[in-house]
Chain A
Amino acid sequence: MLLVACALLVLASLWTLAAEDELSLGRKPWQNLKKTVAEMSEPSFLRVWFGDTNSQMRDQDGKVLRVDDQQANERRYLAGVGRALWTTLRIATLGTALAALIALPFGLLAARTLNAPRPLFWFAKGVLDTLRSIHTLVFGLFFVGIVGLGATAGILAVAAHSAGTLGKLLAESIETLDTHPVDAVRATGATAGQVFFLGVWPAVLPQYVSQVLYVWEFNIRDSTILGLVGAGGLGLLLSEAMSLFQWGRLATLLIAIVLMVTAFDAVSRAVRKRLV
């Protein structure tokens, strides 16, 4: 039944898009693909070693307009990439840290099992759902409008969206907690505060830290494109390389992103494994 519904949805999407003529692959997809792949298969960072140190740009008459040291140029570019990576990393980290703090009170209020007063519960749930349903990039645009271009907008954008995710995860891990130890604490006549801090919190904390790390991992990926809307970091270089059709540089950037993301995935996974 569900399967049929899914199949129907897929077919309907295909059919309507085809009817609207939105499924075309452009005029010369193969040539374009080949050209792009060819240019990207020569990442620009290779020029640090193999670049022409005396690259001359001439006009039609053969007059030398400009002489470039490609190796030095590329080294400068790579230093820029390094700085942008560092910025991206800082945006993701600070954004996640801020999100972890914001998510705490909302996550607690939105946990059904903690029995927060109804209005507060719905308020917290509403806030978390709203934050979560708006993409980081959209928050990026929003905050660039408020605090201007730069890393601050990026941090706020990451924090806003991740707070929604983390709050929801926190509420859920509290809800799925084994209730027996918590009831046992309650059974000693402990106050609500004692029940929470002695029964709930010790059990939830490692899960929460692990979730924060996971979201941090995620945000490092997400922040690489935040620069597209001017919120600082690597995305700025990405959009520059793409608009100038510098596919070699784009390749360099993508490789840098893959390396960074893989490295931090590994770090965060190792830490998370120890926690649980």
Chain B
Amino acid sequence: MSAAVLPVIEAQGLHVHAGENTLLRDVSLSIAPGERVAIVGHNGAGKSTLLRTISAFSRVHGGRVNVLGTDVTLLGEPRNSQKTRDLRQLRSRVAQVLQGLHLVGRLSALDNVLIGGAARTPSWLTWFRRWPAREREQARAALMRVGMAWAAQRRTDSLSGGERQKVAIARALHQNAPVLLADEPTASLDAEAADEVIALLRELVAERKATLICVVHDLDLVPRLAERVIVLRRGHLVADVKVDANTATELRGILK
């Protein structure tokens, strides 16, 4: 990593709280383009909050976060159209694969993938699911890429957990963003489906030279997904280390 490369994400003294609860305290980190970072920690340690902050879904109460050169802190409460536009622009460049049920159940897999291209095609025609032919082609290709082309016209609520997660990855693929956030992408999947999802995520990130930031629950998955791991405990960043063969064991020690 040369010093000339600007970090994709840079946080300094980040504070986030919800009511009485402090979710993140004084978190500082810097992530370079193309890095694969895992975030681990107990429930309520602030892992998901950190992701939500990066995608500008969480209000920031102190410190700064810069994502792809945009100061997210300033977008916290979009009140004018310029800010709204900046916010959408930023979000379109940060794709997300979340845990479980976050596809629109009553829409087909293809329609769900097409949503990934929403920011590129803001026309009102898309409200009625009329997308440009190029977008359709690209979305089909994305479905094909994750091996779900057969399900293009299937409603996503008729698909299994693993199949849905693959459709979600196809959406991220279609969104074509330089940053990919994943929040326990393998939660509630069986081993085989989890393996597939992990393999796809890794391929996607490698192909697009994207940055991956992934919340991981199962510590054994850390070495397979990431080259760097960040440990959160009660909102504090307690460790930020490179991943090697012993990492899973070490993490167990840190997290007890």
Contact = CB atoms under 8 A, between A and B. Distances in A.
B126 interface: yes
Interface in A194-212: 194, 196-199, 202-203, 205-206
A187 B91 contact: yes
B254 interface: no
Interface stretch (A36-44, A151-159, A161-169, A178-186): A178-186
B90 A189 contact: yes
A54 B93 CA distance: 89
Given A181-B103, A203-B104, A198 B126 contact: yes
A191 B98 contact: no
Contact of B103 (A184, A187, A193, A194): A184
Nearest to B56: A187
B56 to A, nearest CB: 9
B122 A191 contact: yes
B104 A198 contact: yes
B90 A185 contact: no
Interface in B74-132: 88-96, 98, 100-107, 111, 115-119, 122, 124, 126-129
Contact of B106 (A188, A197, A206): A206
B88 A189 contact: yes
A181 B128 CA distance: 18
Judged by DSSP, the binding face of B is mixed
Contact of A197 (B89, B100, B128): B128
B211 interface: no
- The number of chain B residues touching the other chain, given as a range, is 35 or more
A187 B96 contact: yes
A190 interface: yes
Nearest to B87: A189
Contacts of A206: 106
A181 B90 contact: no
A189 B91 contact: yes
B127 A188 contact: no
A188 B93 CA distance: 8
B98 A186 contact: no
B171 interface: yes
Nearest to B156: A181
Contacts of B122: 190-191, 194
Given A180-B98, A184-B98, A191 B104 contact: no
Interface string B214-239: 00000000000000000000000000
B232 to A, nearest CB: 21
Given A188-B92, A198-B107, A180 B57 contact: no
B175 interface: yes
Contacts of B90: 189
Contacts of A184: 96, 98, 102-103, 168
B55 interface: yes
A247 B35 CA distance: 85
B42 to A, nearest CB: 22
Given A198-B104, A203-B104, A206-B106, A188 B115 contact: yes
B91 A188 contact: yes
Contact of A189 (B89, B101, B107, B171): B89
A198 B117 CA distance: 12
A185 B115 contact: yes
A276 to B, nearest CB: 11
B91 A181 contact: no
Contacts of B127: 193-194, 196-198
B124 A193 contact: yes
Contact of A191 (B88, B95, B100, B116): B88
A105 to B, nearest CB: 16
A183 B92 contact: no
A199 B104 contact: yes
Given A183-B57, A185-B115, A190-B115, A198 B102 contact: no
A188 B116 contact: yes
Nearest to A185: B115
Nearest to B104: A181
A196 B104 CA distance: 12
A103 B88 CA distance: 30
Interface of A: 178, 180-181, 183-191, 193-194, 196-199, 202-203, 205-206
Pick the 6 closest A-B CB pairs, nearest first.
A189-B92, A189-B119, A190-B118, A197-B127, A189-B91, A184-B102
Given A185-B104, A194-B115, A196-B127, 17 more contacts: A178-B101, A181-B102, A183-B102, A188-B92, A188-B116, A188-B119, A189-B92, A189-B118, A189-B119, A191-B122, A197-B128, A198-B107, A198-B111, A198-B115, A202-B106, A203-B104, A203-B106
